[in-house]
Amino acid sequence: MGSMMENPRINKAGNGREHIRLTMDSLSQNEEFARVVAAVFMSRLNPTLEEIDDVKTAVSEAVTNAVIHGYGSRGGVIGMDITADTDGSILTVCIEDQGVGIPDVKTAMEPMFTTDESGERSGMGFSFMEAFMDEVEVQSEPGKGTLVSMKKFIGR
């Protein structure tokens, strides 16, 4: 078996960026898989252990949000795109679902806000993403889904 650099699913775009796209069912057990994929992909950028842990935590929160809040019990597909810029200093991770969407993104991103009435969720997912990543952008449309784009500046 060849190295990851030879994997046909990892593409070098014409501009030199490296990119991988993963689709997975919206199952809670896929959260760990997404974390590992992100960690392995970013390992070629020579990140610190802290940077790897930061990205893994943010990916975990974004995927969990898609599973729990985006789809709930109805299930669906989650997309994850990971891109490293030309010099390897910026890692971008995008998590996308075609779930119920978020009616008010600004309110949803406030610490402790949750739509979970069971009391099992803390409402800190977006806060954790913002704490562990350098940039977080959320785009959502009710009934159409949500796209969470996160950037981590490596080695800064």
Q: Which residue has the tokens 């985006």?
A: 70
Write down the CATH number for the domain with range 4-153.
Answer: 3.30.565.10
Q: Which of 18, 30, 65, 96 is catalytic?
A: 65
What's the pLDDT score for residue 118? Answer: 56
**Does the pLDDT value for residue 107 go beyond 50?**
yes
With beta carbons less than 8 A apart as the criterion, state whether 125 and 64 touch. Answer: yes
With beta carbons less than 8 A apart as the criterion, state whether 148 and 101 touch. Answer: no
Residue extents of the structural domains in the chain = 4-153
**Has 31 been annotated as catalytic?**
no
Q: Which of 18, 31, 51, 61 is catalytic?
A: 61
What's the pLDDT score for residue 144? Answer: 95
**Has 121 been annotated as catalytic?**
yes
Rounded CA separation 50/53 (Å): 5
Rounded CA separation 91/134 (Å): 10
pLDDT in tens, 13-72: 556 679 999 999 999 999 999 999 999 999 989 999 999 999 999 999 999 999 988 898
**Has 156 been annotated as catalytic?**
no
Q: Which of 121, 135, 137, 141 is catalytic?
A: 121
With beta carbons less than 8 A apart as the criterion, state whether 26 and 67 touch. Answer: yes
